[in-house]
Amino acid sequence: MAQLGRKVYLAPDVMSAFVDRANPKHDQATAFFRYFALEGYHLYTDNISIYDTYRRIENDISASVAKDFLRTIGVSSISILHPDESDMRAATKFYLNDKSGDLTYQKAIMAVLADRRGIGQVATFEYLHAVFGLGIFYIPI
């Protein structure tokens, strides 16, 4: 089993930046994935994030590249998490009780899934609520 510190949750923005060479964050996303491979990280994402990434690639690049993304995810070692009923209830409660107004439902689901699976870091370029002890992944210098 992977160590707690070697688990990272992949957000849609990092996955789409990795695929899209025209994305200004492409080089950073590439560095993330290179580091993950060299250091033996166990990567996680969820089915909602995969759909969001697929949609972004389809809109920004093409449908054929988006299909290639799905093929690649299907043969990769990335663990795909699927929220069950209790995960969805917890995420909904968390989302509805959020007072900040900038938490998205997708990020609430991601936070609940990461917390329940002991994943402490999220690879993302977007703002991340520091809930459940989640932190943004940074490559150590």
Place of tokens 């900040």: 100
Domain residue ranges of the chain, discontinuous segments joined by + = 4-134
Angle between helices 63-75 and 47-60 (to 10 degrees): 150
- Of all residues in the chain, what percent carry a pLDDT higher than 70? 96
Q: What's residue 135's pLDDT?
A: 87
> The pTM is what?
0.89
CATH number of 4-134: 3.40.50.1010
- Label residue 5 by pLDDT band (50, 70, 90): low
